[in-house]
């Protein structure tokens, strides 16, 4: 649905995008995450060609935007809805009038505008607020207006640039839920740009990590969470899956070692997802290899409706048994890393 091929973008001598290749499939929610200044907004503005790339191709819904003239582009942009962090509503227009605006600009007839606005306000749950002004509604409601307005011309893709960054956690969850619902009901392709891993975790199917104008890692969300490769990805994931063990945990391990100094001990970090999380993997290795396992830290969570576990376990037993147990876990699809060799 969206393809970027070797796209570069620069502001004077500053290269904001350095060779971006991206392929977003129809009907998916594709997340793009990166720190402030990574190039996310530049990327959004390049996808709809508000910024023309310095080099490379942009193809949206089968049309090569980079090959179109300005009038053709204005037409093609109707296929691309956009929502923003600060909503960009017109304060002098009511909720209903804000939603009507893109339809008026597209020359749609009044009775049809009225019908469509009613339908959109119903979809985003704001029918009762239709005659209020933006100053009279909450942030979450403003973003609902933004979403209704973005969908007015029935776009094929929706680009969201930090749409939940100005909202509190509850409004964020509710807006993300609405986006997911729209994605499911209408098969709308959504590109979700954010600096918050929580947003990716809640709704994205796939994710790309952008760092200094480059995509440094991408894949299905659950895979990237289980096996983050790049340092930037790891540090962004830290927000929801702690990557470093607290000192209090390490102190407890040392205490365990002192209490029973004879046996070998290993502190392991385990990550597993999907069906693996439902299997009795830990009791299997305990039984098969006669080792002891204590879960000392971690969480079992859900990502995209799939179980996802990130655990620190302290394993004790003879070294060769511990090695065999680690191999068995890896064989079963668990990502195993030795945090520290204790003892």
Report the interface residues with ligand ADP, using CB under 6 A. Answer: 11, 14, 16, 34, 36-42
11 binds, among Mg ion, ligand ADP, none (CB under 5 to 8 A by kind): ligand ADP
Quote the DSSP letter at residue 25.
P
The CB-nearest residue to Mg ion is: 41
164 makes contact with Mg ion (CB under 5 A): no
Q: For ligand ADP, give the closer residue by CB, 17 or 147.
A: 17
Sheet with 63-64, edge to edge strand ranges: 14-24, 2-11, 55-60, 63-64
Identify which of residues 38 and 167 has a Cβ nearer to ligand ADP in the complex. Answer: 38
CB of 140 to Mg ion, least distance (A): 20
37: region left, alpha or beta (phi > 0 left; psi from -120 to 50 alpha): left
Q: Rank residues 42 and 304 by Cβ distance to ligand ADP and give the closer one.
A: 42
41 binds Mg ion (CB under 5 A): yes
User: What does the buried/exposed string (b/e) look like for 216-244 if buried means 16 or more CB atoms within 10 Å of the residue's CB?
Assistant: bbbbbbbebbbebeeebbeebbeebbeee
DSSP states of 266-323: EEEEEEEEGGGGGS-HHHHHHHHHT-EEEEEEEEEEEETTEEEEEEEEEEEE-HHHHH
Residue (18 or 132) nearer to ligand ADP, CB: 18
Neighbours of 248 (CB within 10 A): 9
Among ligand ADP, Mg ion, none, residue 135 binds (CB under 5-8 Å by kind): none
Q: How far is the CB of 282 from ligand ADP (least distance, A)?
A: 40
| Shortest spacing between CB 162 and Mg ion, in angstroms | 6
| Torsion angle, alpha carbons of 283, 284, 290, 295, to 10 | -40
Which of Mg ion, ligand ADP, none does residue 14 bind to, with CB < 5 to 8 Å depending on kind? ligand ADP
123 Cβ contact partners less than 8 Å away, ≥ 6 residues apart: 148, 151, 182
Q: Which is nearer to ligand ADP, 37 or 187 (CB)?
A: 37
Q: How far is the CB of 40 from Mg ion (least distance, A)?
A: 5
Contact region for Mg ion (CB under 5 A) — 40-48, 149-157, 299-307, 316-324?
Answer: 40-48
Task: Collect all residues with Cβ–Cβ distance below 8 Å to 319 and sequence separation of at least 6.
Answer: 264
Closer to ligand ADP by Cβ: residue 212 or 245:
212
Selection from 212, 209, 214, 244 nearest residue 229 by Cα: 209
Q: Is there binding between residue 42 and Mg ion (CB under 5 A)?
A: no
3-state secondary structure of 182: helix
Does 326 engage in binding with Mg ion (CB under 5 A)? Answer: no
Measure the CA–CA gap between 230 and 219, rounded to whole angstroms: 12
* Nearest residue (CB) to ligand ADP, 14 versus 247: 14
Closest CA to 27 of 150, 156, 137, 114: 156
| Cβ 20 to Mg ion shortest distance, Å | 15
Q: What percentage of the chain's residues is helix, strand, coil (to nearest 5)?
A: 40, 30, 30
| In the complex, least distance from residue 1 CB atom to ligand ADP, rounded to whole angstroms | 22
Query: In the complex, what is the shortest distance from the CB of residue 287 to ligand ADP, in angstroms, rounded to a whole number?
Result: 49
Q: Are 230 and 211 in contact (CB under 8 A)?
A: yes
Q: Which stretch binds Mg ion (CB under 5 A): 32-40, 181-189, 297-305, 308-316?
A: 32-40
Tell me whether residue 41 or residue 98 sits nearer to Mg ion (CB atom): 41
Q: In the window 64-83, what residues touch Mg ion (CB under 5 A)?
A: none
Q: Which does residue 71 touch among ligand ADP, Mg ion, none (CB within 5 to 8 A, set by kind)?
A: none
List residues near Mg ion by CB under 5 A.
40-41
């Amino acid at each position: 649905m969206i393809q970027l091929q070797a796209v570069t973008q620069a502001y004077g001598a500053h290269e904001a995008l350095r060779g971006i290749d991206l392929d977003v499939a129809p009907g998916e929610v594709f997340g793009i995450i990166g720190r402030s200044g990574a190039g996310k907004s530049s990327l959004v503005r390049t996808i709809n060609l508000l910024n023309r790339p310095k080099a490379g191709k942009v193809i949206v819904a089968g049309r090569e935007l980079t090959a179109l003239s300005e009038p053709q582009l204005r037409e093609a942009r109707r296929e691309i809805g956009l929502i923003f962090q600060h909503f960009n509503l017109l304060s002098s227009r009511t909720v209903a009038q804000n939603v009507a605006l893109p339809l008026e600009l597209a020359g749609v007839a009044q009775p049809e505008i009225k019908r469509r606005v009613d339908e959109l306000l119903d979809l985003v749950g704001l029918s009762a607020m239709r005659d209020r002004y933006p100053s009279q509604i909450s942030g979450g409601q403003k973003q609902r207006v933004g979403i209704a307005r973005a969908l007015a011309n029935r776009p094929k893709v929706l680009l969201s640039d930090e749409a939940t960054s100005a909202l509190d956690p509850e409004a964020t969850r509710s807006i993300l839920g609405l986006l997911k619902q729209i994605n499911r009901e209408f098969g709308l392709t959504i590109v979700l740009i954010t600096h918050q891993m929580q947003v990716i975790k809640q709704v994205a199917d796939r994710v790309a990590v952008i760092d200094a104008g480059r995509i440094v890692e991408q894949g299905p969300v659950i895979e990237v969470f289980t096996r983050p490769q790049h340092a930037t990805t790891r540090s962004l994931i830290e927000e929801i899956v702690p990557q470093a063990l607290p000192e209090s945990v390490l102190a407890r391990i040392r205490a365990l070692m002192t209490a029973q100094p004879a046996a070998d001990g290993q502190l392991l970090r385990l990550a597993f997802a999907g069906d693996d999380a439902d299997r009795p993997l830990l009791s299997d290795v305990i039984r098969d290899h006669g080792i002891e396992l204590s879960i000392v830290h971690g969480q079992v969570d859900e990502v995209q409706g799939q179980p996802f576990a990130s655990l620190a376990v302290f394993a004790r037993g003879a070294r060769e048994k511990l090695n065999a147990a680690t191999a068995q876990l890896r064989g079963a699809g668990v990502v195993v890393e030795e945090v520290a060799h204790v003892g």
